[in-house]
Amino acid sequence: MTAHTPLLEKLAAEYGTPLYVYDLERVDAARRDLFGALPDGFEVFYAFKANPHVELVRALRTGEGPACKAEISSAGELAAALEAGYPGTDILYTGPGKTRDELAGAMAGGVRLFSAESLSDLTHIGAAARAHGVRAEALLRINSATAGAGTSIRMTGKPTQFGIDSETVAGIAAQLREVPGVSVAGLHLFSQSNARDEQSLIAELLHSIDVAAAMQEDLGVRLRILDIGGGFAAPYAQAGGRDRYPGLRVALEEKLDAAFPGWRQGEPRLAVESGRYLVGDSGTLLAGVSNVKVSRGRKFVILDAGINTFGGMSGLGRLLPVSVAVDTDGDGRAVEKASLVGPLCTPGDILGREVEVPEAAEGDVLTIPNAGAYGPTASLLMFLGRPAPTEAVVRGDEVVHVSRIEHIRTPV
């Protein structure tokens, strides 16, 4: 057994594996750290795509200190936000493919702030608002032609379904301003994910502020809200801690003082968004060893958790390639190199090739750290029909909630 704390051992014994354990105390700490790194008055939108578990997103809204708002992009995420107690006024609805039904549901749920990815998307938002008898506000997502720094995952500067190409804004500004049912309230810039270091993060966020100042002139609209994106980094299924940003606050304050002198009075309101930074280190994945075998001199540790449980979406490029690490200290066993593979009947079910693991035997439980983001709902959850992993939410040593997603085919 390598689940090194009594609580993890107890939960694995009681609920079996694969098992996710999320600690709300870690969520609280991440929220404090992120707000503490930002200038006073900044809003933080939590990206539900990282982990939409209702108990986690509720914890980001409640408790001591500033509350996170919700950034969602589907009807399912909207349902989770409303269940967790987010009012519609604290929700930003994003995404390039908002359907008529989704927009209608969002309006009915009280959402009034949307990220518009194109003129036609803005038109759809306006039409849905008018059909609901309300007026919506939109942040125009901008696909900047330039970048401030190299990052692990670039989101702009190329042809993409995301955002309005920055060089076209001036030419369509009048059309953007005149869409019935919706007001252009500001801009949404999101150019990177998981910045490689503080310097890269700061360079990109400062560049986003420069782009926003230029876009304000091109649009002929005074910005009331400016979302400069994110990129706050945290390890993914590897040992280590979240990045720290001691220089971020001052750098943002100096740039904003020059570009938007009224920002300290809320003109415009400033926001960032974050997913993995807020929940990544809250999660631990416990995976049971089903079998151990050697093939042509290489050892394979076969787990009950595979790409249906963790990281199955990494092949799409949204996540880093999966190469998990397991905790190797605490039980005194020797460490060896082995490939960690899952239970699925496909050669692609690999969590790590030739990674360090404690000498494992059938029935052992391995512990994968920093698994709180992009877990079950970012995996091939229904592939081959295996049960979803159990998810336990704790606060320190107290068990708050235990559940499992069920696959149910429903007649329509």
With respect to residue 102, please indicate whether it lies within any of the assigned structural domains.
yes
Residue 410 within a domain: no
For residue 79, is it within any domain? Answer: yes
Within this chain, do residues 176 and 320 fall inside the same structural domain, yes or no? no
Task: Quick: pLDDT tens for 276-306.
Answer: 999 999 999 999 999 999 999 999 999 999 9
90 and 67 within one domain: yes
Q: What is the pLDDT of residue 314?
A: 61
49 or 323: which leads in pLDDT: 49
223 domain-assigned: yes
275 domain-assigned = yes
How much is the pLDDT for 324? 75
Structure confidence at residue 1 (pLDDT): 40
pLDDT mean over 76-84: 98
pLDDT digits (tens, 9 = 90+) for 168-219: 999 999 999 999 999 999 999 987 788 889 999 999 999 999 999 999 999 9
Could you tell me if 137 and 210 lie in one domain?
A: yes
Q: Which residues contact 120 (CB under 8 A, 6 or more apart)?
A: none
User: Of 47-56, 66-75, 120-129, 157-166, where does mean pLDDT reach its minimum?
Assistant: 157-166
Distance of alpha carbon 398 from alpha carbon 243, whole angstroms: 27
pLDDT band at 329 (very low <50, low <70, confident <90, very high): low
Asked if 153 and 54 sit in the same domain, the reply is yes
Structural domain tally of the chain? Answer: 2
Q: Do 11 and 68 fall within a single domain? A: no
Residue 298 lies in a domain: yes
pLDDT tens, position by position, 360-387 = 999 999 999 999 999 999 999 999 999 9
Average pLDDT, rounded, for the chain: 92
- Pair (141, 270) in one structural domain: yes
Same-domain check for residues 328 and 225 = no
Of 279, 314, 349, the position where a domain reaches its end is 279
- Tens of pLDDT, residue by residue over 111-157, are 999 999 999 999 999 999 999 999 999 999 999 877 655 544 445 55
153 and 261 housed in the same domain? yes
> Domain ends where: 227, 252, 279?
279
Mean pLDDT confidence for 244-271: 98
Tokens of 176: 């953007």
What CATH code is carried by the domain that includes residue 182?
Answer: 3.20.20.10
Boundary residue ending a domain (258, 279, 300): 279
Tell me, what's the pLDDT at 333? 72
Domain membership of residue 411 (yes or no) is: no
User: What's the confidence (pLDDT) of residue 217?
Assistant: 93
Residue 412 in domain: no
> Are 13 and 52 found together in one domain?
no
Same domain (yes/no): 311, 260: no
pLDDT tens profile 13-50: 999 999 999 999 999 999 999 999 999 999 999 999 99
CATH number at residue 398: 2.40.37.10
Q: Are 225 and 82 part of one and the same domain? A: yes
Q: Is 186 in the same domain as 287?
A: no
Residue range(s) defining the domain that contains residue 102: 24-279
* pTM metric for this prediction: 0.93
Of 3-17, 65-79, 264-278, give the lowest mean pLDDT range: 3-17
